[in-house]
A and B are shown apart, each in its own frame.
Chain A
Amino acid sequence: MSSANRVLPGFGLSLGFTLAYLSLIVLIPLSAVFFKTATMDFDRFWSVVASDRVVATYKLSFGMSLLAATINVIFGLMLAWAIVRYSFPGKKIVDALVDLPFALPTAVAGISLTALYAPNGWLGQLLEPLGIKIAFGPWGVLVALVFIGLPFVVRTVQPIIEDFDVGFEEAAASLGATRWQTVRRVVFPALLPALLTGFALAFARAVGEYGSVIFIAGNIPYVSEITPLMIITRLEEFDYEGATAIASVMLIVSFILLLIINLLQGWTARSTRRSV
């Protein structure tokens, strides 16, 4: 411990309160999941977390989250590029509204997207004659997850594009590179860590998302049930063990994602520092 403690006061108080509050609100409650799971015997645990219906939810949750994060990376990058590099009317409003999925309560997003993509909705009625059914099925899950994840990619990539030294592009151009070569060989590699971080953030959020999805998904067993919903279903059946077992699987996935994101953010920070 540094001796600077003696100069600025309040180290013991602030760290003590921080640790106590963190333990009471977060750590002890979270540990309850693992203690509860530990009391189950393995066969019971396995029969819950590897049952066909639950496995179907993993496939849907992870599959759609991957797809949604990919879509977000593509369109999020374009949107971030447009906001930073181009001037167009309404740019400030677009920039501010990018955070709407974050500010809008997920239940509101859920019913709104459902109404939009339902067979009689504004977009649903255009898609239905084409044989495309979005709401009340797996594609509805995708739509909700794309909505939820967009700000993560835009807000991770945007500051990197803003800080990117124009000198690199001018240097590449002066060395004879075409615009496309410059973007592909100079700009894109600089953005890659941020893009991956944004992807991981959007993915992590999508895997755990509940509110915006359950309205539009239709929640058909084996078809459009997401994993968080399974926890709720088990709880409503008063099957606390089952709910906890699934929750422990989700928690472990969260921890792994948290670790990956930390590594990616470290990489982003290092690579931006290098280029300055």
Chain B
Amino acid sequence: MSIDIDHITKSFGTFRALDDVSLNLPRGELVALLGPSGCGKTTLLRIIAGLEIADSGRILLDGQDATEKHVRERQVGFVFQHYALFRHMSVFENVAFGLRVKPRKERPAEADIRRRVNELLDLVQLGWLKDRFPSQLSGGQRQRIALARALAVEPQVLLLDEPFGALDAKVRKELRRWLRRLHDELHISSIFVTHDQEEALEVADRIVLMHKGRIEQIGSPQQIYEEPATSFAYSFIGNVNAFRGKVEGSFVRVGSDLLAHARTDLAEGEPVVAYARPHDTEIVPDAPEASGVAARVNRVLSNGGISRVELIANGPERGGAKDYFEVEVGSDDLARLGLANGQRVRLRSRRLSLFRDQASG
């Protein structure tokens, strides 16, 4: 099912959870709604499901207006963050629930219900647990049962709220791969909410990055990582070094240092933030009058071919702490530079991205 979100706005009291959000999601994709807590991603998911009603705007499912449609009729499957398994029913009965509550004329025969539930339990590889109660399952098992339960009614779209949020790191990684495989098998349009960028980058076909009730960027994981569209996108996704300063011709003045840039559309003296990924940042020996931001080596972490160098800014403290930088250096370069702790160096970037600095503006 394709999903079109058309100018959705939603407030809770004075808090604006979603601010004029529009979004088109084609059929069959696995989409991540990514953002920090409070960015509105869960609210958007619940509005798509019909669990919340938007203040204004429309939801279209397969091109049809579903805004007024009751959640029962939207044909969505929803997996809750804490699973919401029925605690007094066995695993089998949990999965069978959606079939058993169908109106009599649509309800499958008991034998068909059993067959269907067993199929689903096999699909999530937990057939052997069917007589257990939710409380007797591990977190990962509960998650998979919740998914099987949602799939039982053959939803047109699957919505998952922080599906891996309550799991420990190892199970989380396993389930991620499993969800991806499952999606490749079933090809059901799916949207999941997460605050974990690694999770979104690894699992999703498409990422919708949200911040403060608005969409910051939509794109493939690669696009989101390689070409962040906004200052927020840069700082939220992946590791990044941030340099704050003012435009001075083809340079950015950071404290008393200068960084070269190639943008031509920025006014002289405009406050900007310049971002550079650790692998796009280079370390050069300190020399008077050289360009680059002055820093001091704090630690060198070598493991294998790529080493990570942690540096402390020379500039003044901000917010009670010095700025930290991180640079990835190949083993050849590391040997050439001969870095020692405390050594003064300068940082430059091969790919510097500039954004107007809202914080100081």
Contact = CB atoms under 8 A, between A and B. Distances in A.
A6 B50 CA distance: 9
Interface in A1-24: 3-4, 6-7
State which size class the interface on A falls in. under 10
B12 to A, nearest CB: 9
Contacts of A3: 52-53
B284 interface: no
B82 to A, nearest CB: 17
Nearest to B54: A3
A4 to B, nearest CB: 7
A4 B50 CA distance: 9
B229 interface: no
Contacts of A6: 50, 53, 70-71
Interface in A22-53: none
Nearest to B50: A7
Contacts of B52: 3-4
Interface string B69-100: 01100000000000000000000000000000
A52 B53 CA distance: 64
B137 interface: no
Residue from the set B50, B53, B71 with the largest chain A CB neighbour count within 10 Å: B53
Nearest to B12: A2
A7 B52 CA distance: 8
Contacts of B50: 6-7
A3 B70 CA distance: 12
B193 to A, nearest CB: 18
A2 to B, nearest CB: 8
B220 to A, nearest CB: 33
User: Which applies to chain B's interface (DSSP): helix, strand, loop or mixed?
Assistant: loop
B182 interface: no
B337 interface: no
Interface in B36-53: 50-53
A4 B51 CA distance: 6
Contacts of B53: 3, 6
Interface in B6-53: 50-53
A7 B53 CA distance: 9
Nearest to B49: A7
A259 to B, nearest CB: 27
B52 to A, nearest CB: 5
A99 to B, nearest CB: 27
B47 to A, nearest CB: 9
A127 B135 CA distance: 58
Nearest to B68: A6
A3 B51 CA distance: 8
Contacts of B70: 6
B98 to A, nearest CB: 16
B72 to A, nearest CB: 9
A148 B71 CA distance: 51
B18 to A, nearest CB: 13
B175 to A, nearest CB: 28
A3 B46 CA distance: 11
A194 B33 CA distance: 45
Contacts of A7: 50-51, 71
B8 to A, nearest CB: 13
A3 to B, nearest CB: 4
A4 B43 CA distance: 12
Interface in A171-203: none
A262 to B, nearest CB: 24
B44 to A, nearest CB: 14
A87 B287 CA distance: 78
Contacts of B51: 4, 7
A3 B8 CA distance: 15
A5 to B, nearest CB: 9
A3 B53 CA distance: 6
Nearest to B53: A3
Nearest to B10: A3
A61 to B, nearest CB: 46
B57 to A, nearest CB: 13
A3 B52 CA distance: 6
A6 B53 CA distance: 8
A241 to B, nearest CB: 48
Among A3, A4, A6, find the residue whose CB has the most chain B CB atoms closer than 10 A: A3
Nearest to A9: B70
Interface string A217-244: 0000000000000000000000000000
A4 B46 CA distance: 10
Interface in B106-126: none
5 contacts: A4-B52, A6-B71, A7-B50, A7-B51, A7-B71
Which 5 residue pairs of A and B lie closest in terms of their CB atoms, listed nearest first?
A3-B53, A3-B52, A7-B51, A7-B71, A6-B53
Given A7-B51, A7-B71, 7 more contacts: A3-B52, A3-B53, A4-B52, A6-B50, A6-B53, A6-B70, A6-B71
